[in-house]
Amino acid sequence: MKRLEDKVVIITGATGGIGRAAVELFINEGANVVMVDLNEDALIEVSNKINSNKLSYFQGDVSILADNKRAVELAIERHGGLDVFIANAGVAGDVQPITEYDEETFDKVMAVNAKGPFLGLKAAIPHMSERGGGSFVVTSSVAGVTGASLLSPYVMSKHAVVGLIKSAAKECADMNIRVNSVNPSPVETNMMRVLEDGMNELNEEDNPKTQIEQTIPLKRYAEPIEIANLLLFLSGDESKFITGSVHMIDGGFTA
């Protein structure tokens, strides 16, 4: 028996490194998946690569309530319901001191990283409740439990996610809806390349990736599939007594 046989899953940020890994893994584990992303070309590319009748996509913006509702409606129309929502979409923002940080970029980081999961919950809760429960998992970060110089808006947004999942877990428990977060250290994705480039502009003498890896006891970045495996665990029945929890997957970074 596959671990998500016939479950219906929404995955936002579906064309990024973690998102793609999760989509492929969840399809292989029997799920019906609705991918959500802003980049339609990338959505088509992933769809063509996987080539499964269990896969659908929706081009949408997670910071807009109507798009979250439409994604949920699409899951119901095409696959009959909604069991799991993976709020994975995220942006890094800039690498800048607070005094020089652009306000428009700040607003975008907060809108995608913090408001996005809130709106996802707002759209998903009524349908999960009608179905008898479900699992809602947000991709946060080690930045959700620690600080990081020159990344204040990103860190702020990821701390907000931790507050959201803890509050929502208590609010949704009577509906049998579990709410958790996954908090990775740096992962081998394009987002980290953006952050590394930003760090490089401020300090050209040292290799940013090497510097970061030295702060991780296991001395490497995570692979996207390693994060996807934890998302899978939190989505299925093996974790049915876990809610309101922050799950570090960080190679020992926060130990």
Q: What is the band of 7 on the pLDDT scale with cuts at 50, 70, 90?
A: very high
Does residue 101 carry a catalytic annotation? no
d(CA 132, CA 136): 14
> Which is higher by pLDDT, 201 or 77?
77
211-246 CB burial, b ≥16 within 10 A, e <16: ebbeebeeeebbebbbbbebbbbbbbeebeeebbeb
pLDDT in tens, 153-199: 999 999 999 999 999 999 999 999 999 999 999 998 777 777 777 77
Q: Comparing 49-63, 74-88, 210-224, which segment has the lowest mean pLDDT?
A: 210-224
Q: Comparing 16-30, 44-58, 112-126, 198-212, which segment has the lowest mean pLDDT?
A: 198-212
Tokens of 152: 């204040």
Note the pTM of the prediction, 2 decimals.
Answer: 0.94
d(CA 109, CA 209): 22
pLDDT at 134 over 70: yes
> In three state form, how does the secondary structure of the chain look?
CCCCCCCEEEEECCCCHHHHHHHHHHHHCCCEEEEEECCHHHHHHHHHHHCCCCEEEEECCCCCHHHHHHHHHHHHHHHCCCCEEEECCCCCCCCCCHHHCCHHHHHHHHHHHHHHHHHHHHHHHHHHHHHCCEEEEEECCHHHCCCCCCCHHHHHHHHHHHHHHHHHHHHHHHHCEEEEEEEECCECCHHHHHHHHHHHHHCCCCCHHHHHHCCCCCCCCECHHHHHHHHHHHHCHHHCCCCCCEEEECCCCCC
Check: CB of residue 84 under 8 Å from CB of residue 4: yes
Catalytic residue among 57, 101, 154, 221: 154
Tokens of 39: 């980049």
d(CA 232, CA 83): 13
pLDDT in tens, 98-108: 999 999 999 99
pLDDT at 212 over 90: no
The residue assigned the tokens 């028996």 is 1
pLDDT at 230 over 90: yes
CB contact set of 75 (below 8 Å; sequence gap of 6+): 8, 10, 32, 34, 56, 81, 82
* Residue 28 burial by Cβ neighbours in a 10 Å radius (0-12, 13-18, 19+): middle
Q: Report the chain's mean pLDDT, rounded to a whole number.
A: 94
Where do the domains of the chain lie, and which CATH numbers do they carry?
A: 8-188+223-248 (3.40.50.720)
d(CA 72, CA 131): 13
Taken in order 157, 162, 167, 173, the sign of the CA dihedral is positive
